Amino acid sequence: MRKKIVAANWKMNKTFADGLQLIDEILNTTPVNNNVIKIIAPPFIHLAAIADKLKSKEGFAVAAQNCHHLKSGAFTGEVSAEMIASTGAEYVIIGHSERRMYFGETSSLLAQKVNITLANNLTPIFCLGEMIEDRNANLHLEKVKQQLKEGLFHLSPSDFSKLIIAYEPVWAIGTGVTATTHQAQGMHNFIRSEINKKYGKNISENTILLYGGSCNAENAKDLFACLDVDGGLVGGASLKANDFVAIANSF
């Protein structure tokens, strides 16, 4: 049985004090489904404090939103996987569409980030997805297949089995538009079938696939009811405690 996960991507939001307040609000909002893993991905400034706050809380974990692809060095402003691991965080979001678009992150770079993340015993949450022009041209499956191949399919079966994949229809991020359940299930099933071709049935059936794209308290129940959707990577709706807890309780 695959784990159910809801990951909160705060992006570049919340001051240090505001972030700690939001965590307190989430912890004080009841009921919280302890059968769902709730991963909090705050800005780097919050990692250590939030990891410390959540370390004894059942069903919670912490993720970084990014990491550098090298171990260390003269890279002003960057944060390494080793540094992230030292805070108590357990996960790293890699390849978010905003990193690909705004910072020019390529598949070859993201493959290196996956490698360094795994080398530091962190779990990658690897994001992939298509632009609206890809879907309109009926190229969305090919686009996602290419991102899988170039970013992840270099991994050994044992390493691949450690990661999480988040499907982001880029046209649905921050737009208020959500993929229909048919679209979400169709792409998640396609991703699982491609993993099956590469790594076999056992790994494909145990790979956790998340939906990311304007997932909120209103649509989460329908999305999470899809056979191949194991949870969500949540953006704006994760910035309000009641909404995030409601999404986590949607299974």
CA distances to 7, 64, 205, 210 from 156, in Å: 25, 24, 17, 22
98 carries an active-site annotation: no
Give the start-to-end residue ranges of the domains of the chain.
Answer: 4-248
pLDDT at 179: 86
Strand-pairing partners, residue 8, are: 40, 234
Statement: 4-248 belongs to CATH 3.20.20.70: yes
Which pLDDT belongs to residue 172? 84
**Using one digit for the tens of pLDDT, what is the confidence trace for 44-81?**
999 999 999 999 999 999 999 999 999 999 999 999 99
Catalytic residue among 130, 168, 188, 194: 168
> Residue 39, SS3?
strand
Residues of the chain with pLDDT under 70: none
Predicted local confidence at residue 178, as pLDDT: 77
Q: What is the DSSP letter of 212?
A: -
Q: What is the Cα–Cα distance from 109 to 125, expressed in whole angstroms?
A: 15
Residue 168 designated active-site: yes
Among 96, 98, 140, 194, which one carries the catalytic annotation?
Answer: 96
Residue 30: the pLDDT is 76
Rounded-to-integer distance, Cα 103 and Cα 66, Å:
12
